[in-house]
Amino acid sequence: MCGILGQINKTDKIDADLFSQMLHTIHHRGPDGNGIYLDKHNQLAFGHNRLAFLDLSDAGKQPLISNNEQIVVTFNGEIYNYLELKKQLLDSYTFITNTDTEVIIAAYLKWGIDFVKELKGMFAIAIYDKKINKVFLIRDRFGIKPLYYFFNESCLIFASELKAILSSGLVKKEIDYSSFSDYFVYRYIPSPKTIWKNIYKIPPANLLTFDVDTFSHSLFEYWKLNSKNEQEKSDLLIDEINEILQLSVSEHTRADVPIGSFLSGGYDSSAIVHYMKRSGINPETFSIGFKNWEKSEHQFAEIVATHLNVPNKYVIADESSLDLVNIMPIVYDEPIADISIVPTYMVSKLAKQNVKAVLSGEGADEIFGGYTWQHQYCDETYYKNWLWKIKSIFKKRETVNYYAHAMSMGWFDKDELENMLTPALHQYIPSDVHWFYRKHYNNKLTPLKSIQYMDMKCFMGELVLTKIDRASMANSLEVRVPFLDHKLFEKVFLLDEKQYFNQHQTKFLLYENIKKFLPQSILNRKKQGFVGPDNYYMNIEYYKKELANSNLVKHNIINQSYLDHLLKQDYNWKLWKILIMEKWFSHWVD
């Protein structure tokens, strides 16, 4: 795992010292080494901070240049099928390293930019092809790895994190107040927008082509998830899913250093540890708990660790842990209001003290149907009695509206935003505040798959994976997510949903493959998201203290009367969103 940076100037020379300083701002993403490539005109620079896993020698340093000196690559991520690809490329390229980075170069030289379709992995890749004088910026299918860019008439800058772009001094720090409004609706800033004007995210599964000669760029989506309603024999399907998962975990543990695993005691992380054991790996596992909470995950993780005979370490969060909210603006660059940002940071810090990389269970709920809102939606769509179904004919439920309520964690619509924001900012409130959900809602899919698709594109792709990447990389820890194998998603989405979604058994296809290997107490455990006890987040006195003398109020952004109204209530989830924005604004603007 690494941090990447690039700059292309149209006419001016690149300041090499400044570029080096920009690269240093994301040193935490790759403390094992760094490198800079500067072209002969001093107008194109690629930078790289390395967190080494394959070929730990200096031969694995980046940016990496092809044997014929035509291609330059800086790359953040892991290509899990690099060994298989390398075998296909031996006849066309002479390899001098044992890295997956060189496989990217060889694959591009043989197959052109379509090589990306051959990759299995998580990646943010920048390729400079001197022959055609073009730069390609590529983000993986799910958005596991981040990639930002700034563009104007004289300069293109791209980087793994916003702070590297901002440190150039070439970007005016202007808040995009439509993004500001989006944050309160979604808990994050949806792609391609960022919190800043003129800086953008490359969306998941997208490829940006930049023509250095014409100084122009275009964006292309190179992968889409297709859906069918195929039927297979249940026992054969269960075995096939088992093989896909076993292969994915085996590929995700390819490294020249030990790989551990997060462990919560739920299906997903427990399954990963089970498959690691079957691959001959006895991983160190890491968990987080909450003080004085009967549902604390570390208790269940201990049960699984004992059963599978793996070591487990855990850290306990308490009221004082919320002090870490003060460093979240540095970790995340732009505001993200997932309630587990602090616990994720804490367990990442624990893991880093012992290993350089861990596996994690993100993606299983999305593809196997594990979320409570998925089950509730299906219950109301398929399983209600005949009287309810007759009523639903006359009062048809709107899927995007249902999904928006399920995701909100503190409901903000246009009216609520107008109540909170001062009048001068009302012009920036989107006319359709749920535009991003609507963008990824596909009414041609079955009801369940339409929810799953929004989960993949919106909840997971924008919130969950951002949280995981920044919290882990702030601690120089790599997190690998074997459930996010695009072959698995393609396989399941082609099935009739009744083949993998069971009203009475959550994540049916996964359950069938782990039920013989985990304790019954874990198999019977009710679904629990990565959260803490409500009182951990609902201390109204804490919010009164933290939001006193609010900078958002001082800068005439939100109304003091609105804030006062929320602080008079026992608790309202809107306060968490305001707190996170307050901390971000105070650090980056005020």
pLDDT tens, position by position, 317-345: 988 999 999 999 999 999 999 999 999 99
User: Does one domain contain both 127 and 199?
Assistant: yes
Average pLDDT over residues 505-529: 89
Sorted by sequence, the CB contacts under 8 Å of residue 453 that are 6+ apart come out as: 225, 440, 441, 442, 445
Q: Is the pTM of this model over 0.85?
A: yes
State the pLDDT at residue 395: 46
In whole angstroms, give the CA distance from residue 58 to residue 98. 11
Q: What is the pLDDT of residue 364?
A: 97
- Domain boundary residue among 199, 221, 243? 221
pLDDT of residue 100: 94
| pLDDT-above-90 percentage for the chain | 85
Stretch 302-325: mean pLDDT, rounded? 94
Q: Could you tell me if 543 and 522 lie in one domain? A: no
Q: Strands 260-262 and 216-221: what pairing?
A: unpaired
Please give the pLDDT value at position 476: 96
For the question of residue 155 being annotated catalytic, the response is: no
Containing domain of residue 582, as a range? 538-590
Q: Are 518 and 555 members of one domain?
A: no
Indicate if 204 and 67 belong to the same structural domain: yes
Q: 316 and 210 in one domain?
A: no
Q: Is residue 482 part of a domain?
A: yes
One domain for residues 528 and 544: no
Residue 196 confidence (pLDDT) above 60: yes
Which percentage of the chain shows pLDDT scores above 70?
Answer: 96
Q: Which one is catalytic: 2, 155, 378, 458?
A: 2
Task: Tell whether 69 is covered by a domain.
Answer: yes
pLDDT band at 396 (very low <50, low <70, confident <90, very high): very low
- For 411, 414, 441, the CA distances from 399, given in Å and listed in that order, are 16, 18, 8
Please, which pLDDT band fits residue 394 given cuts at 50, 70 and 90?
A: very low
Whether 318 and 169 map to the same domain: the answer is no
Residue 44 dihedral angles phi and psi, to the nearest 5°: -135, 130
Same domain? 525 vs 561: no
Q: Rounded to 5 degrees, what angle do the CA atoms 445, 450, 454 make? A: 140
* Structural domains of the chain, count: 3
Nearest one of 472, 456, 455 to 160, comparing CA atoms:
472
Q: What CATH code is carried by the domain that includes residue 480?
A: 3.40.50.620
Please indicate, yes or no, whether residues 315 and 177 belong to a single structural domain of this protein: no
Q: Which pLDDT score, from 0 to 100, does residue 384 have?
A: 57
**Nearest-10 crossing angle of helices 177-186, 574-588:** 150
Instruction: Output the pLDDT for position 295.
Output: 81
Q: Bigger pLDDT: 58 or 226?
A: 226
- Tell me: the pLDDT tens digits for 130-185? 999 999 999 999 999 999 999 999 999 999 999 999 999 999 999 999 999 999 99
> Is 185 found in the same domain as 276?
no
Q: Is residue 429 part of a domain?
A: no
Contact, 498 vs 237, CB < 8 A?
Answer: no
pLDDT tens per residue, range 523-580: 988 776 666 777 788 889 999 999 999 999 999 999 999 999 999 998 889 999 999 9
In a domain, 387, yes or no: no
pLDDT band with cut points at 50, 70 and 90 for residue 92 = very high
Are 170 and 249 found together in one domain?
no
Q: Which tops the pLDDT comparison, 288 or 50?
A: 288
Query: What's the CATH number where 185 sits?
Result: 3.60.20.10
Whether 179 is in a domain gets the answer: yes
Looking at the domain assignment, is residue 214 inside a domain? yes
Claim to verify: residue 110 and residue 141 sit in the same structural domain = yes
